[in-house]
Structure 1
């Protein structure tokens, strides 16, 4: 979605399951407006938090849309992921397959394998070969998206890029840096809560963020020896936040052990995840 909209709206990393929420992005062009919903990746939910992510995909697939774009990597998916694609069989709009990461492929074999596999599994109408990183194939995909749009007045003002507030993106950008700096379970066992987001004219934005982790044993890992890792996290986050907000920020980070936060409906609702339905 970032490449299609021309701006960073979804955080990215090399690790799977980086996206946790449905994120709306708006692409405005001469005579058209396309509204995208970027969903989390397919997963088997092991707790309330992950099930909320899985439900986000089902909600997006069941909503009335004009087009569904399924982004897949070259090659075959893991066996345990195949049943997760079932909701895509029920979409009531055209389904386009976009095979991504072509910048990393040296031959056509795995691309063809993905195209044939998903073509048999799902009601694919068109196939595109793209590289979100380099922009290869995106011109053709954008043209197909524009052609599929029905005539309708814009849903949003033509200068709007998303429906999310800056506070949401502050948490996402800090979490993106956690995914980049830490390994193993830390990125998946942590959540970021913005306690204070204060804008004062003529001064740096003040942001107070609390990083929740699931176990006490994870606290020294995220803080690091003599605070080295939390310092790196703060510095990387400040740089990324200033670039996104286009103004200087002052960031304060705290770490809290919140056992079982992934199954705590009150906490999950506070940070925008848990839904009873």
Structure 2
């Protein structure tokens, strides 16, 4: 990502971070979690919250590895689908991004496909969701503390600091850079071309040298299709017994889900 785009993102952040911080507090309140608690497993927390909003969260290996996640509503059921063909570092960011759309942009967010999180869309809805994601998975006080810890042990190599923070928070490298600038932990002069331009292989090699867990650069390829089908059948049978659903509607929901899953995976 070039400096110009990063500056536009930071401008948006400076003008809107107070509002997004308020949304972060609302999210913690919805989750009934103390604001100072660590979110060690965001999916485990978010799955119930999004279910209560009518959205089922599941993981699939997308055929298109440029898509980070998608959100879809149909047949009265909403789906948040996370792409497990992408590296783990993209995972939490994509999930947090979708959480913002579902919880705080409900009128806007009905059917949407999100591209990989290195690609920041340049309009307000996406800026807001990315800002929320960065603030949620890289909390300010924790991030500042870890930034200075890693800076002290990295001989002032800002690139090593970013890589260590990426591994620690399991966040995209670009998101770490942006968060560091948002919190005024590094200046624009430190962002040389070599700092911003990197390949996965280069990151992996340096992580190996730093004794970091490079598996965060790998994809899990988890596929929840079978589990989701079983869950839809389970809940569906309960609703049928209670008179809220018919067999025809349940079969339609399951059929539509399986079709959606197959399309996402490139099977049809």
Taking structure 2 as the reference length, what is the TM-score of the superposition? 0.31
Greater percentage in helix: 2
Greater percentage in strand: 1
Taking structure 1 as the reference length, what is the TM-score of the superposition? 0.30
